[in-house]
Structure 1
């Protein structure tokens, strides 16, 4: 009985390892644009994807949020001021994204 349980636990660990393996190739060539990165889920996602090697463009509503992300992340992360209710702010963010991404393709919007 003990060997059956041990075998199931080993299979579970192998399954988890397989599930955690990299599924996106060339992460250093990928750009991800995330809004709402001042706090919460957006902030956590931006930091996590930066650690995985993605180029992250993080839209923050406050300068404090931008500064905190810049301090804790690598130079692959670009923080931009973004107020989604202001069309001028959205246009500026769009121009920055086009500048950062360039001819490398379209960014992945989350």
Structure 2
């Protein structure tokens, strides 16, 4: 029984080691848009993606949230104010994203 558990544990750590070694090439040229970056999951996701070298486009609801996030991250991370309940805010954020990404975002559609 102990041998079986040790084998399972070994397989688990082997799989984990293998997954952590996986990487995506060209991260500095890749963009990711994350909404809800004032706090919560969006904020928690934006910071490590920025640290890994991605160009994070972080959408925040408030100016205060955007400023706090910028202080905690590198210059690669850019913020935009976005209220997803307002059509004009969505349109402005969409235009901003297209401007930031340029021709690298050929597949970006809304």
User: TM-score, normalised on structure 2?
Assistant: 0.83
Shift of 1:21: 2.0
Contact persistence 1:61–1:81 (CA under 8 A): yes
CA distance, structure 1, for counterparts of residue 14 and residue 99 of structure 2: 42
Shift of 1:24: 2.1
In the alignment, which residue of structure 1 is the partner of 2:100? 100
CA distance, structure 2, for counterparts of residue 97 and residue 4 of structure 1: 52
In the alignment, which residue of structure 2 is the partner of 1:42? 42
Shift of 1:12: 3.3
Pairing 1:63–2:59 present: no
Shift of 1:5: 6.5
Instruction: Label 1:72 to 1:106 Cα distance change in 2 as closer, same or farther (>3 A).
Output: farther
- Unmatched 5+ residue regions in structure 1? none
CA RMSD of aligned residues (A): 2.2
The SS at the match of 2:68 is: helix
1:11-32 Cα distance to aligned partner (Å, 9 max, x none)? 4333211111234221111100
Instruction: Label 1:50 to 1:82 Cα distance change in 2 as closer, same or farther (>3 A).
Output: same
Instruction: Label 1:108 to 1:33 Cα distance change in 2 as closer, same or farther (>3 A).
Output: farther
In the alignment, which residue of structure 2 is the partner of 1:76? 76
Q: Specify which structure has the bigger relative contact order, considering alpha-carbon pairs within 8 angstroms and separated by 6 or more residues.
A: 1
Q: Work out the number of aligned pairs and report it.
A: 109
Instruction: Label 1:51 to 1:16 Cα distance change in 2 as closer, same or farther (>3 A).
Output: same
Instruction: Label 1:85 to 1:5 Cα distance change in 2 as closer, same or farther (>3 A).
Output: closer
